[in-house]
Amino acid sequence: MQESQPRFPVIAFDADDTLWRNEDIFMSAQGEFMALLAQYHDQEFIRSHLGDVQIRNLKHFGYGIKGFTLSMIETAIELTEGRVTGQQIHSIIELARRMLAAPIELLPNIKSVLKTLQKEHTLMIITKGDLLDQESKVARSGLAKYFDIIEVTSDKNPAAYNSILSKHKISHDQFLMVGNSLKSDVLPVFDIGAQAIHVPYHTTWAHEEVSAMTLEKYPQLVTLESISLLPEWLSQHK
């Protein structure tokens, strides 16, 4: 007897902090940046101002290391009232180069989970950020062989998800998104009538945080503490 089709034939994964570590790299860089400006302001003020500049610049530079770097440079100019030196700007650029070249550290059990799911599901990566950087990380991760489709998008909102599903002729009720960000990977997918699973990472950028009041609107929310639990969850929800 032929086995029935899985409930979610297509499973998409976020990349950063779902498949591999990423936010730690930004936090480390932020620490170096705050040390660079320590003579001008205290750390908390620098952190807060940098965060405000990043959010202000998202509509101009988008997500990713390059946009983060431009925000660091702008923050340095503003917080030093233009006194930041050429050498300090150069240090920020070198910091960005190190971020871009940072080795890819896969999260636990990623390969074994993907190998298992690959047998019955079409697997996708849906990630936002700079195209060159994200493509480089996918290539260096060694995970590309597990995925049938890789999509890099400037943002992850309902319109973006609808566009991707339409492009690949994927039905909403056959699609499952897995990711660490409630704001980017989960709630917009619920908003288009599809299913998503939240797999938290140990740290989250403040811009990606979601209030408890907002979460109350989504009773269908499913959270798994580890991606290694995903195959079992799928077996229980056929």
All structural domains of the chain with their residue ranges: 10-20+105-236, 24-101
Q: Which fold has domain 10-20+105-236?
A: Rossmann fold (3.40.50)
What does the pLDDT profile of the chain (238 residues) look like in tens digits?
A: 345 789 999 999 999 999 999 999 999 999 999 999 999 999 999 999 999 999 999 999 988 999 999 999 999 999 999 999 999 999 999 999 999 999 999 999 999 999 999 999 999 999 998 899 999 999 999 999 999 999 999 999 999 999 999 999 999 999 999 999 999 999 999 999 999 999 999 877 666 778 888 888 899 999 999 999 999 999 998 7
CATH topology agreement for domains 10-20+105-236 and 24-101 = no
CA dihedral over 99, 103, 109, 115, signed as positive or negative = positive
What pTM was computed for the model?
A: 0.90
Cβ within 8 Å of residue 206, ≥6 positions away: 51
Specify whether the CB–CB gap between 96 and 66 falls below 8 A: yes
Cα–Cα distance list, 93 to 62, 70, 84 (Å) = 18, 9, 13
SS3 61: helix
Give burial (CB, 10 Å; 0-12/13-18/19+) of 115.
exposed
Q: Alpha-carbon distance 225 to 83, whole Å?
A: 46
The CATH fold of domain 24-101: DNA polymerase; domain 1 (1.10.150)
